[in-house]
Amino acid sequence: MPPDDDALLALAREAQTRAYAPSSRFRVGAAVRSGGATFTGANVENASYGLSICAERNAVVAAVLARQVPLDEVAIVSDASPPASPCGMCRQTLLEFARDPATFRVIAVNHQGERKQWLLADLIPDGFTGEELRKG
């Protein structure tokens, strides 16, 4: 694992400790990288599950608010085995802000040392990019 991956994953692990998941107890931390800048997020549940916000989307929002987009990669930490991939809403959000989906890495790990990695383009092939709106 490249040294930069270690640093990104460490930030995602730390973010996971701040997750608010009283109902599901499924705590997730995420860290997104844009060039040299990194932003973290944790999932925040709500009693009405539809109002919950995923860790990945929280990290993306932090990057957007700092005007540090487009994004290059995301690291996700959960307790799931095998490591969990981003949900559909997170995939679409990452696609919106990815520098290049064909090179955007999605790295997922758990505390048992299991690791999975994908390219965003493989997780959301033929994704809706907004270009469709400009062609109408």
Give domain limits for the chain: 3-134
pTM above 0.75, yes or no: yes
Which pLDDT value is given to residue 43?
A: 98
| Mean pLDDT, range 50-67, rounded to an integer | 97
Which residues touch 114 (CB under 8 Å, ≥6 apart)?
Answer: 81, 82, 83
Which pLDDT value is given to residue 3?
A: 59
Phi and psi at residue 84, to the nearest 5° = -80, 140
From the candidates 14, 45, 56, 132, give the one annotated as an active-site residue: 56
pLDDT band per the 50, 70, 90 thresholds, residue 20: very high
Q: Which residue type, as a one-letter code, is found at position 136?
A: G
Which pLDDT value is given to residue 120?
A: 98
Rounded to whole angstroms, how far apart are CA atoms 124 and 48?
27
Query: Is 56 designated active site?
Result: yes
**Domain 3-134 CATH superfamily:** Cytidine Deaminase, domain 2 (3.40.140.10)
Mean residue pLDDT of the chain comes to 95
Res 1 pLDDT > 60: no
